[in-house]
């Protein structure tokens, strides 16, 4: 709606997973490098932790876009509240068991496990090193899931099977792993996403505006200070405030977005932006 007014070619603050908008802040770039190291060096299992809105799922999307073709299939499970047998069956299907003529839904956990094992073996024989991402893993309430994931990692103990398991979630995930010492012990790489600094907050906004086609200032200096105070460097909150700020600026035909505009927008959102 406001794109033409601000001379934008696309929406700069939309919640879409578009890797072209990736801003290489220190915590996010460091996290991305660690995850690439995890996968490209066959370290087995990794952990990505961060608060709500910190960009964990987005970073996984960026990671997928930068991996070599051999690291396929890239399975991204975003609803992990499954039973152990449902999890194994889901992974087998997503890894291509059905396409390979392997039936993963035959009754019996042992048969489903064998179907998953055979598919992983087949993929590795074809030169693939799959990546399995369990997103929102802090929502897992069935501790047996963590035991199942530990058992899944046991497939890696032979040289014929090579894949990466990545657990993604908020701080609660760390508590879950403490109750699953065997799985926790298998985590080779750990990444923590922290909020943007005031400088990164400004650079992040300017980067997204530039990618969207805008090269001239949109927010004034005080607006950036207010933006950090209101969001504390949380990318999702920054996106929401900036998006609404641009909308108000368009509606009121403003030349730039000021601190007052952002404060008014935040007040409409009940003075704090929900996670």
User: Residue range 240-253: average pLDDT?
Assistant: 96
Is 17 a member of any domain?
no
pLDDT of 99 higher than 90: no
Please write the tens of the pLDDT for every residue from 6-55: 999 999 999 889 999 999 999 999 999 999 999 999 999 999 999 999 99
Task: Count H helices and E strands in the chain, helices first.
Answer: 11, 5
32 and 67 together in one domain: yes
State the average pLDDT for the chain: 93
pLDDT at 55: 95
SS3 assignment, position 189? strand
Residues 268, 184 share a domain: no
What would the two tokens of residue 237 be?
């909150």
Report how far residue 45's alpha carbon sits from residue 189's, in angstroms, rounded to the nearest whole number.
7
Distance CA 238, CA 136 (A): 21
In this structure, the answer to whether residues 144 and 222 fall within a common structural domain is no
Tell me: the pLDDT tens digits for 210-231?
A: 999 999 999 999 999 999 999 9
Domain that holds residue 259: 1-11+196-272
CATH number at residue 120: 3.40.50.300
Span 109-146, pLDDT tens digits: 788 889 999 999 999 999 999 999 999 999 998 999 99
Taking CB atoms within 8 Å and a gap of at least 24, the contacts of 103-112 are: 109/84, 109/85, 112/85, 112/88
Neighbours of 94 (CB within 10 A): 18
139 and 214 inside one domain: no
Residue 267 in domain: yes
Per the model's pLDDT, the better-predicted residue between 274 and 259 turns out to be 259
- Cα–Cα distance for residue pair 54/190, rounded to 1 Å: 16
| Co-location of 238 and 186 in the same domain | no
In the predicted structure, residue 176 carries a pLDDT above the cut 70? yes
User: Closest Cα to residue 205, out of 2, 4, 7, 12?
Assistant: 12
Q: Is residue 138 part of a domain?
A: yes
- 3-state per-residue secondary structure call for 56-123: HHHHHHHHHHHCCCCCCCEEEECCCCCCHHHHHHHHHHHCCCCCCCCCCCCCCHHHHHHHHHHHHHHH
Structural domain contains residue 20: no
More confident residue, 275 or 41: 41
d(CA 64, CA 70): 11
């Amino acid at each position: 709606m406001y794109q033409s007014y601000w001379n934008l070619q696309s929406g700069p603050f939309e919640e879409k997973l578009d890797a072209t908008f990736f801003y290489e802040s220190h915590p996010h770039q460091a996290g991305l490098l660690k995850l690439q190291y995890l996968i490209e060096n066959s370290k087995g299992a990794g952990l990505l932790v961060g608060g709500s809105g910190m960009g964990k799922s987005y970073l996984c999307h960026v990671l997928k876009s930068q991996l070599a073709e051999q690291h396929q299939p890239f399975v991204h499970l975003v609803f992990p509240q499954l039973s152990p047998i449902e999890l194994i069956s889901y992974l087998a299907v997503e890894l291509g068991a059905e396409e390979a003529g392997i039936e993963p839904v035959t009754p019996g956990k042992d048969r489903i496990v064998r179907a998953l094992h055979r598919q992983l073996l087949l993929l590795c024989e074809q030169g693939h090193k799959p990546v399995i991402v369990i997103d929102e893993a802090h929502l897992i309430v069935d501790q047996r899931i963590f035991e199942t994931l530990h058992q899944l990692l046991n497939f890696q103990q032979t040289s014929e099977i090579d894949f990466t398991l990545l657990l993604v979630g908020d701080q609660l995930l760390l508590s879950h792993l403490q109750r699953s010492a065997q799985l926790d012990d298998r985590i080779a790489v750990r990444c923590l996403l922290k909020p943007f600094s005031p400088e990164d907050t400004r650079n992040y906004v300017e980067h997204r505006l530039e990618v969207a086609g805008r090269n001239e200032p949109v927010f004034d200096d005080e607006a950036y200070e207010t933006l950090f105070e209101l969001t504390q460097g949380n990318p999702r909150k920054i996106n929401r405030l900036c998006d609404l700020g641009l909308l108000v600026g368009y509606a009121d035909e403003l030349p730039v977005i000021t601190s007052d505009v952002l404060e008014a927008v935040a007040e409409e959102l009940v003075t704090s932006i929900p996670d």
